[in-house]
Structure 1
Amino acid sequence: MLNSGNNYKLQDDNYTKTLSESTKRAYMKDIKDFFGVVDLTSITIEQIRNVNLTTSQEFKQRLEDEGKSTSTINRKLTALSNFYRYLCRRDVGIMEYNPFLSEEGTVRMYQDKRYSNTRCLTVDEVKRLLKAIENDDAILQLRNTIIVLALATTGMRRAELTHIRIGDIKIQDCKDVIELTQGTKGRKSRYVVVSDSLKVMIDKYIAMRGLDYTHKNVYLLANHAHNNFIHTNDILTESTIYRVIKSIADKAGIDASSISPNCLRNTFITRSRELGLDIQDIADMVGHTSISTTQRYFQTNRVISNSPADMFLGDNLNHSKKQT
């Protein structure tokens, strides 16, 4: 809603309906932060129209001076550009031009998109994560094992994982699958195959919670933080999954600062490629609309793995030993 005297109402779904819930929340926060308000109802049409190219460039420069990362700056500029693009629509008519468009002069920060900053875990590291869970309480052990296995063996996003309901677990072409319909980017549904080991854990976890597959609308993963309550139906949040992965990594003796849920997604993509799967098939499995996005994940690992640095170092060491 925009406060302009005539109570013009702005529905945020009109310009964020194709975004995932996590991206939508980030964009809405970026817009409110830019205008210095706590909700959209406080933004006036006058404030919106006072923004121009100079304002957008000064905003970008301020973010740089504050030491914001390239990806953060570009996300904020994109959020505002989407917002103003909506306001330029003829049926809205609040703005005549978008001050955050690159074509208008607002330059984005350069980011080398050939590589991903998310690292790929080794098979041994994944095993160490699973081993570290064994000391958890029974219900948490099952749930946390499902989290690690689901991320590492299906490549799903944590937003997708949190929104799985029991009814989404199905049999398709004689295989156990999960239909991802919520939390997906662009709200595009897809199926992911469930491994036998993951299905066993899911079955045990559902049974321990006193549920079965007739409880179709109940979320698969629950938050057991309150007194380890087994039968809770509180949905597990994305931030909780993030903290769970960090905690497990710490128990496993792996640098928690280098681990995130997306690392397990990266691991699935990279290992799938190493096994010889077609890149388009991998992109479809993980919900990428472009294979260039998929390539970024394993490109970094390939470059590092094929580096001749160790070979050069080995030759120099051998040469030094011969001279001594």
Structure 2
Amino acid sequence: MSTWQSYIKEYQNYLRLERGLSKNTIENYTFDIEKLVLFLEQNDIVVSPIQISEETIQEFVYAISSKVNARSQSRIISGLKSFFNYLIFEDYRNDSPLELIEVPKIGRKLPDTLATEEIDALIAAIDLSTPEGERNKAMLETLYSCGLRVSELIGLKLSDLFFEEGFIKITGKGNKQRFVPVGQSTIKYITSYVNLIRVHYPVQKGHEDTLFLNRRGKQLTRAMVFTIIKDLAVKINLNKTISPHTFRHSFATHLLENGADLRSIQLMLGHESITTTEVYMHLDRKFLSEVLKNFHPRA
């Protein structure tokens, strides 16, 4: 299967250099192809990415359909389509073996939204008697008040803080940069953490500019932020499946419910397309009725 590995490596370079995708996104794309490679190995099918047929792909899709849900199946097929389209783009193939493979229909799944009271309760449950507690409070306030992705939060630098102007600089997907407004209370929490807590951390070489540090003085991992949030949810008996992304989703939903326009929210979230922003707009009927009543001339 070494031929697969060489094509996968070329594809990864293309995703990184030409598409500007992040390490995490590239790993996810690669993971989908490796599932196919594993299937071929397990079934003693020796075929390169150039020769593989639609029938073999169909067998693979049939095999995974009994193991994963429709959403995962859809993502794997989508990842493979991208890989074979790349091979066509590079003139390795003339057609895609996924041309006629149908993606299972799935509805748009929206994550849970937290009410302001629930966010307050989560943050209030942080033990502030520890240095990590002060850091976690500053992190969650930043996550919610700026609507960041978890990768953007852990990648924040001291040099990204433009507090006098009231903005922070965010490096998003594909290394695209945007400025997001930051409120006074969040500025206060970050400043307090930097001046009173971070100064006592043993900063490791290469992390001098990293804003949120772990105990060893290095950048936090995504998994650590997930764990912090999950532990707080357990602590307050919150019966919702939440993650760092829940704070971002809540940020967008609360802004919309309070009258912000989609275009502004799109700019703050760093979405290329307005349709991506619309997915976040998890609105209840009561709110929509209020909009109609207040803004339509015939209401």
Residue aligning to 2:158: 166
TM-score (norm 1): 0.76
Q: 2:189 aligns with which of 183, 194, 201?
A: 201
The 1:241/1:304 distance shift into structure 2, 3 A limit, reads: farther
Residue aligning to 1:229: none
Trace 1:139-178 onto structure 2 (pairs within 5 A). 139-171=131-163, 174-178=164-168
The 1:99/1:25 distance shift into structure 2, 3 A limit, reads: same
The 1:186/1:131 distance shift into structure 2, 3 A limit, reads: same
* Greater alpha carbon shift after TM alignment, 143-152 vs 47-56: 47-56
Deviations 1:166-224 (A, max 9, x none): 111124xx53221112xx22332111112212112211222222179xx9952111223
Q: 1:239 aligns with which of 218, 223, 231?
A: 223
Size of the aligned set, in residue pairs, is 275
Do structure 1's residue 108 and structure 2's residue 99 form an aligned pair?
no
Structure 1 unaligned segments of length 5 or more: list them.
Answer: 38-44, 225-231, 308-324
TM superposition shift of 1:51 = 2.2
CA distance in 1, matches of 2:154, 2:30: 21
- Aligned-residue CA RMSD (Å): 2.8
TM-score (norm 2): 0.82
CA distance in 2, matches of 1:146, 1:121: 18
CA distance in 1, matches of 2:24, 2:65: 24
Identity %: 26
The 1:137/1:29 distance shift into structure 2, 3 A limit, reads: farther
TM superposition shift of 1:15 = 2.9
Deviations 1:131-174 (A, max 9, x none): 100x2543211221122111211111111111111111124xx5
CA distance in 1, matches of 2:52, 2:129: 54
Trace 1:129-140 onto structure 2 (pairs within 5 A). 129-133=122-126, 135-140=127-132
The 1:54/1:243 distance shift into structure 2, 3 A limit, reads: same
Residue aligning to 1:278: 261
Preserved contact between residue 166 and residue 216 of structure 1 (Cα < 8 Å): no
Residue aligning to 2:43: none
Aligned to 2:48, what secondary structure does the other structure show?
helix
Structure 2 unaligned segments of length 5 or more: list them.
Answer: 40-45, 290-299
Residue aligning to 2:295: none
Preserved contact between residue 176 and residue 195 of structure 1 (Cα < 8 Å): yes
